Structure 1
Amino acid sequence: MAETSGTRRERRAAARAERQERERAEAARARQRKRLFQLGGALALAAAIIVVIVIATGGGDDGPTKQAGEPVAGANDTAALLAGIPQRGAELGDPRAPVTLIEFGDLQCPYCKDASDDVLPPIIEDYVRDGRVKLIFRDVAFLGDDSIRGAQMGAAAGLQNKLWDFVHLFYINQGAENSGYVTDEFLREIGGGVRGLDVDRAMDDRANPEVQRQISEAQREWQGYGLTGTPSFVVGRTGSELEPVDMEQGLTVETLSTAIDRVLAEQG
């Protein structure tokens, strides 16, 4: 049956309307894809910016990283604490001081860090600086490989009469125990914060037999006093037998000052 002209026009109009609807739907989908693409790009850019910021600030919870040329944390305080006090090897203070106080420690020991940060500075200022006490550090290095590497560098610094500077600065910058942080780079950084220390020479002197002798001797002496932990202290009249400091009540400035004052009083 032949179609009328009106029917043909109606079919064409319907087809055109259907095509236009499809085109509008496709255009809408294209616009949606474009918006999603733009949003994805913006998110990617934001993520990239965050990554850059994290890297620039050190990332995570570890705080900002030390930048090249920045001073080592605590370098100025260490220099001020020890300025003008004579050093000889592991000794700090006048070699003729009437009282000798020996600390047995480990550079990785967190309690030794507490002693270095809070307890020893007043002892150094009140007793060592005026010549009444000679303070000696014995590094027993028993906690692990990081302890040994630190002790070797400390003893090497002692060959230049800078052991106490190195030890105090190491404690200020102490890391997590046995985490492998005591690398050559770390040791150079700490050594670089010690005024007057020839860092290259100290790094080489770690292989010096005298360095190993000092560490072995410290361990024997520590055990000879019957000590098992760090920090531990012995005190007495210089040139005489020393006795362990009673630290049952904890290690405080008063603990050490009381022990020192008792020896001073005994000497009249």
Structure 2
Amino acid sequence: MLHAPSLAIGAIISAIVIIIAFTMFDGITNPTELKIEPTPTIQQAGPAKITMETFLANGSPILGNPNAPVTLIEFGDYQCHFCNVFFHSTEGKILENYVETGKVKMIFKDYNIIGPDSVNASHGAHCANDQGLFWEYHDILYSNWTGENNGWASSENLGRFAQEIGLDMDVWSECMLNGLHSQTILASNEDAKNLELTGTPAFFVIGPDGKTTRLFGAQPLETFEKVFEMELEK
């Protein structure tokens, strides 16, 4: 059953455990109504103190010009149906029109709400980041998406994806087996909960003055363009 957008299971995956059984490395060959809710400043939301670190820490490396005036943060789950819809229908145009032109920089953060394979896929991306290939691994994950909890993000497939993008398999495998990035993934999930997110994908657009706009679901390009252009006019 697909999530629309994906709903949190229980209280997320309460303790993220990296479940990896890599034994074959050597042989591995319409979304809901759109809402734009601006908030004046980043201060406090409920009992959790929301700071800029809540948005920027525990995520991917920056995609684009680090000095771009607008920041787009996506909280996603690699098994999420609507995250995959966003990747294939909207993200490419955002990259072409805004990221590659230096107007917007992008950060991806984990919110693992579907199953253990989601956590393992996140860990695969962070281990790829150790070799400077986070976004290549991020892209190959979504390019191979076939559903939720159906095995496409199995340990064997995650290893195959790593090989396909040219990672050093010894280094990447050791990273996976030792769970080197589990705390980063846990912290990112905690950031999502502190922001009171209940599904994926969820987006935050931060303008040059620190104002944030929340966008939920696999929204069309026009929605992002409207917010970007509003922020770029400042």
Give the TM-score of the pair, scaled to structure 2: 0.69
Which residue of 148, 156, 167 corresponds with 1:197?
A: 167
Tell me, yes or no, if structure 1 residue 211 matches structure 2 residue 185: no
Greater helix proportion: 1
Provide closer, same or farther for how the CA distance between residues 182 and 91 of structure 1 changes in structure 2, counting only shifts above 3 A. same
Return the letter of the residue paired with 1:206.
M
Residue 173 (structure 1) aligns with: 144
Which residue of 65, 73, 89 corresponds with 1:94?
A: 65
Q: Structure 1 CA distance, aligned partners of 2:184 and 2:227?
A: 26
Tell me, yes or no, if structure 1 residue 184 matches structure 2 residue 155: yes
Provide closer, same or farther for how the CA distance between residues 237 and 159 of structure 1 changes in structure 2, counting only shifts above 3 A. farther
Shift of 1:186: 0.2
Count of residue correspondences: 179
Q: Structure 1 CA distance, aligned partners of 2:132 and 2:209?
A: 21
- Retained in 2: the 8 A contact 1:90–1:138? no
Shift of 1:128: 0.6
Which residue of 176, 182, 204 corresponds with 1:234?
A: 204
Shift of 1:157: 1.1
Q: Structure 2 CA distance, aligned partners of 1:203 and 1:238?
A: 40
Return the letter of the residue paired with 1:163.
F
Which residue of 219, 225, 230 corresponds with 1:257?
A: 225
Highest RCO, 1 vs 2 (Cα 8 Å, sep ≥ 6): 2
Determine helix, strand or coil for the equivalent of 2:150. Answer: coil
Return the letter of the residue paired with 1:234.
F
Determine helix, strand or coil for the equivalent of 1:206. Answer: helix
Determine helix, strand or coil for the equivalent of 2:142. Answer: helix
Shift of 1:156: 1.0
Q: What are structure 1's unaligned runs of at least 5 residues?
A: 1-67, 71-87
Tell me, yes or no, if structure 1 residue 158 matches structure 2 residue 129: yes
Q: Structure 2 CA distance, aligned partners of 1:190 and 1:220?
A: 27
Q: Structure 2 CA distance, aligned partners of 1:166 and 1:239?
A: 32
Residue 116 (structure 1) aligns with: 87
Tell me, yes or no, if structure 1 residue 243 matches structure 2 residue 213: yes
Provide closer, same or farther for how the CA distance between residues 150 and 254 of structure 1 changes in structure 2, counting only shifts above 3 A. same
- Retained in 2: the 8 A contact 1:94–1:134? yes
Greater strand proportion: 2
Determine helix, strand or coil for the equivalent of 2:199. Answer: coil
Shift of 1:162: 1.4
CA-based RMSD of the aligned residues comes to: 2.5
- Retained in 2: the 8 A contact 1:225–1:244? no
Determine helix, strand or coil for the equivalent of 1:103. Answer: strand
Q: What are structure 2's unaligned runs of at least 5 residues?
A: 1-26, 30-58
- Retained in 1: the 8 A contact 2:74–2:109? yes
- Retained in 1: the 8 A contact 2:69–2:103? yes
Shift of 1:69: 11
Identical pairs, percent: 31
From the CA coordinates, give the structure whose radius of gyration is larger.
1
Determine helix, strand or coil for the equivalent of 1:90. Answer: coil
Provide closer, same or farther for how the CA distance between residues 257 and 161 of structure 1 changes in structure 2, counting only shifts above 3 A. farther
Provide closer, same or farther for how the CA distance between residues 99 and 186 of structure 1 changes in structure 2, counting only shifts above 3 A. same
Q: Structure 1 CA distance, aligned partners of 2:208 and 2:97?
A: 18
Determine helix, strand or coil for the equivalent of 1:91. Answer: coil
- Retained in 2: the 8 A contact 1:153–1:203? no
Determine helix, strand or coil for the equivalent of 1:134. Answer: strand
Give the TM-score of the pair, scaled to structure 1: 0.60
